[in-house]
Chain A
């Protein structure tokens, strides 16, 4: 297992990987041939559209897909007038039901990682299987829910630390309804127009506003941001932890690789008091919540300015935030937009105990988070990046000297559709960490990936991430040098 740099092992890894890929491939081919019509996700089926009409390549959205999402999962200006009832009448209950469901399987067939001192190989079952229910109910109301099955769910408990909770099944990242409130504004006197069954505020040829759309439930509002984390080509990796023999509690062995701009960025914080769950530096928090209970409003003005406002719970506190996106350019196969985000989190994290840093203390901290993001799509190129700065408030006096209360992160991703079946991606992540000064450590990671789409809804990927900073054995952010993944991303 720990044979240092063993060539034999490495070679067998490659063989296994190739074999697994080939086997997966064959299964896919067989499946697709048996049931070609079913091999597209819910919306594609509902609207009888190719995936690529909305996605540059799944899961990334193109301009039309963004518009589709913004309108509450409806073809802009052409929502079905009688909504769900219409589909039931026209397509019958069975097709309506099937067309509302979708499945996404993401798995690392294989994972391989190397530090200066170890080479480790392990075969992994799929990370997660997500099950979606998505459907417009009326022209101005739609539903979206995600159920998640994780064969190797990770949980945290006060006594055991992180542990493998085995098969977990539950509400996934998001579950919300989206409601167009245009008609409501019309009822209180705003001028409105009916645009393909949807009410829009304004006058043709003059000021127009689409929405406001209310998303409420468990939401991840960042799809509207220039850097949309739930639509990236490079998936987040998994947390790794270990329990040394004889010890009760596990230790975090390696932190996941995530877009650092959106990470929580501070060392030594806690999510809550009772469970003492640490807020990991790489935990994704506002505005990349991976789904939190709350309400989000967004509206688009004159087709160029998108404004967003929301309230989301986080740990023991809650967030308020506002975002503006300006679509500066849209011509000659080029779109360019810029967004700014401002977020204030009330009591969203807990400071460590000033005496005993490994325990949560009495102080809940406020967090100011602000940042800017931009996205440029030009021909086959898609570039998006974000810089996000965090600052904590309410730190106990006794902790001031030991704690750095400012942090920042930068993430830039470039996707290039080199061939219609091959998407090449690269992402650079830089973390200027904050938090307890004796643990605090910056991180820099470069990831590259090649994703092969034999069909629009199935992709195989090979991805490698490199830690560009010196290896640090005792810090989970940098206790690795290189990580290689071979995986599959499959949408039904």
Chain B
């Protein structure tokens, strides 16, 4: 009787689950981004790794000289489509199948990270997912210098009515997704503030194995950059994808090489980029450094599955 109840329960449950899985509802919004809808198409996806380190110097956003310079560029090159007021209703803009976005929308602009912005101005609509949506946004990297692009961004930024620098601190919504992922998957080890002081560390293997990284210091291990410098976004991305293997040692005998930090390779790429953006936001040095040349694609160090943590 008992086991029949059990069998019935398990059976019907399994059936229900199977039925629901087969009739799975369509995947919902990939990143819960309200601008990621059919008509706008301004999915504020994370900037690709080539541009992920292209942060805009803090001072640019509020520098009057930059803004004036930006206004000139904007008026001659962008206003046709984006409109004099930044509302996306320029004479050439209104006719486009995919309209330019409204830069007066404070929330929409707030979601846009600086490296995304720079990427879009540089590459225009030639990149996915905008290309397949028929974007008419031209690429500007050939015509405008880096400084010019910064300037025009600073001017565009003024439409939103926000007067501080355009950084995550001022726009927490630009990191909302990364923060949620971090809270679910990283806090236990890396700690709420990224100081490597989650409750897991002390028992992870206290004396021998390395502790979860403190993201707020300058010390990082898995880098393609010279020692003493911060890793590139691509480096962080790779560590997240591969995880970190233990260095073995007496404690891990028989488990040599198993990971002490899990591999997050099954996390969709976009979400891995989001959580890395959040990690970078925990350490201001990531956006202040200038030693990384903008838009250089760092040659990935050989993909070693043997990235091993040394004590």
A377 and B199 contacting across the interface, CB-CB below 8 Å: yes
Alpha-carbon gap, A49 to B204, bound state (A): 12
Q: Flag B124-139 by CB within 8 Å of A: 1 or 0 each.
A: 0000000000000000
Knowing A52-B260, A420-B208, A455-B255 are in contact, say whether A193-B32 is a contact too (CB < 8 A).
yes
Knowing A177-B14, A205-B172, A295-B9 are in contact, say whether A49-B258 is a contact too (CB < 8 A).
yes
B28 and A199 contacting across the interface, CB-CB below 8 Å: yes
Alpha-carbon gap, A110 to B10, bound state (A): 39
- Chain A: CB-nearest residue to B265: A78
Nearest CB of chain B from residue A235's CB, rounded to whole Å? 20
**B192 interfacial by beta-carbon distance below 8 Å:** yes
Nearest CB of chain B from residue A358's CB, rounded to whole Å? 25
Which residues of the partner chain B approach A199 to less than 8 Å between Cβ atoms?
28
Q: Which of A80, A203, A216 contacts B13 (CB 8 A)?
A: A216
Which residues of the partner chain A approach B183 to less than 8 Å between Cβ atoms?
303
Residues 2 to 23 of chain B near chain A (Cβ within 8 Å): 2, 5-6, 9-10, 13-14, 17, 20-21
Q: Which of B173, B199, B200, B271 contacts A205 (CB 8 A)?
A: B173
B184 and A293 contacting across the interface, CB-CB below 8 Å: no
A48 and B6 contacting across the interface, CB-CB below 8 Å: no
B29 and A64 contacting across the interface, CB-CB below 8 Å: no
B9 and A80 contacting across the interface, CB-CB below 8 Å: no
B9 and A63 contacting across the interface, CB-CB below 8 Å: no
**B161 interfacial by beta-carbon distance below 8 Å:** no
Alpha-carbon gap, A44 to B260, bound state (A): 11
A195 and B206 contacting across the interface, CB-CB below 8 Å: no
Number of A-B contacts (CB under 8 A): 215
Q: Flag the segment in A7-15, A326-334, A386-394 that touches B.
A: A326-334
Q: Flag the segment in B142-150, B245-253, B290-298 that touches A.
A: B245-253
Nearest CB of chain B from residue A314's CB, rounded to whole Å? 11
Which residues of the partner chain A approach B27 to less than 8 Å between Cβ atoms?
194
A75 and B262 contacting across the interface, CB-CB below 8 Å: yes
- Chain B: CB-nearest residue to A141: B17
**B179 interfacial by beta-carbon distance below 8 Å:** yes
- Chain B: CB-nearest residue to A80: B266
Nearest CB of chain B from residue A42's CB, rounded to whole Å? 13
Which residues of the partner chain B approach A52 to less than 8 Å between Cβ atoms?
203-205, 260
Q: Which of A186, A205, A378 contacts B28 (CB 8 A)?
A: A186
- Chain A: CB-nearest residue to B8: A293
Knowing A184-B20, A208-B180, A217-B9 are in contact, say whether A63-B259 is a contact too (CB < 8 A).
no
Nearest CB of chain A from residue B211's CB, rounded to whole Å? 10
B176 and A140 contacting across the interface, CB-CB below 8 Å: no
A76 and B184 contacting across the interface, CB-CB below 8 Å: yes
- Chain A: CB-nearest residue to B252: A50
Q: Which of B21, B29, B255 contacts A50 (CB 8 A)?
A: B255
Nearest CB of chain B from residue A346's CB, rounded to whole Å? 15
B201 and A218 contacting across the interface, CB-CB below 8 Å: no
B187 and A49 contacting across the interface, CB-CB below 8 Å: no
Decide if the interface of chain A is mainly helix, strand, loop or mixed: mixed
**A57 interfacial by beta-carbon distance below 8 Å:** yes
**A421 interfacial by beta-carbon distance below 8 Å:** yes
Residues 92 to 133 of chain B near chain A (Cβ within 8 Å): none
Knowing A32-B253, A50-B255, A177-B13 are in contact, say whether A62-B199 is a contact too (CB < 8 A).
yes
Which residues of the partner chain A approach B32 to less than 8 Å between Cβ atoms?
191, 193, 203-204
Which residues of the partner chain B approach A76 to less than 8 Å between Cβ atoms?
184-185
A197 and B17 contacting across the interface, CB-CB below 8 Å: no
Nearest CB of chain B from residue A440's CB, rounded to whole Å? 30
Which of B10, B258, B275 has the largest count of A CB atoms less than 10 A from its CB?
Answer: B258
A78 and B10 contacting across the interface, CB-CB below 8 Å: no
Alpha-carbon gap, A469 to B27, bound state (A): 61
B199 and A333 contacting across the interface, CB-CB below 8 Å: yes
**A94 interfacial by beta-carbon distance below 8 Å:** no
A63 and B255 contacting across the interface, CB-CB below 8 Å: no
Residues 202 to 240 of chain B near chain A (Cβ within 8 Å): 202-208
Which residues of the partner chain B approach A208 to less than 8 Å between Cβ atoms?
180
Alpha-carbon gap, A176 to B17, bound state (A): 12
Alpha-carbon gap, A431 to B147, bound state (A): 75
A333 and B201 contacting across the interface, CB-CB below 8 Å: yes
A32 and B254 contacting across the interface, CB-CB below 8 Å: yes
**A192 interfacial by beta-carbon distance below 8 Å:** yes
Alpha-carbon gap, A203 to B36, bound state (A): 13
Knowing A50-B252, A53-B260 are in contact, say whether A294-B181 is a contact too (CB < 8 A).
no
Knowing A36-B254, A196-B271, A294-B9 are in contact, say whether A53-B264 is a contact too (CB < 8 A).
no
**B268 interfacial by beta-carbon distance below 8 Å:** yes
**A290 interfacial by beta-carbon distance below 8 Å:** no
Which residues of the partner chain B approach A140 to less than 8 Å between Cβ atoms?
21
**A319 interfacial by beta-carbon distance below 8 Å:** no
**A263 interfacial by beta-carbon distance below 8 Å:** no
- Chain B: CB-nearest residue to A377: B199
Which residues of the partner chain A approach B13 to less than 8 Å between Cβ atoms?
177, 179, 214, 216-217, 295
Given contacts A196-B267, A204-B177, 5 further A-B contacts (CB under 8 A): A53-B204, A183-B24, A183-B25, A194-B27, A456-B251
Q: List 26 A-B contacts (CB under 8 A).
A: A32-B254, A39-B254, A50-B252, A53-B204, A53-B262, A64-B189, A76-B184, A78-B263, A179-B13, A186-B25, A194-B27, A194-B30, A196-B266, A196-B268, A205-B172, A205-B176, A205-B179, A208-B180, A216-B13, A218-B6, A293-B9, A303-B184, A303-B187, A332-B197, A420-B205, A420-B206
List residues of B whose CB falls within 8 A of some A CB: 2, 5-6, 9-10, 13-14, 17, 20-21, 24-25, 27-32, 172-173, 176-177, 179-181, 183-185, 187-189, 191-193, 197-208, 243, 246, 251-256, 258-268, 271, 275
List residues of A whose CB falls within 8 A of some B CB: 32, 36, 39-40, 44, 47-53, 56-57, 62-64, 67, 75-81, 138, 140-141, 175-177, 179, 183-184, 186-187, 191-197, 199, 203-205, 208, 210, 214, 216-218, 293-295, 303, 313, 330-335, 377-380, 417, 420-421, 454-457
Which 3 interchain pairs have the tightest Cβ spacing? A205-B176, A63-B188, A64-B188
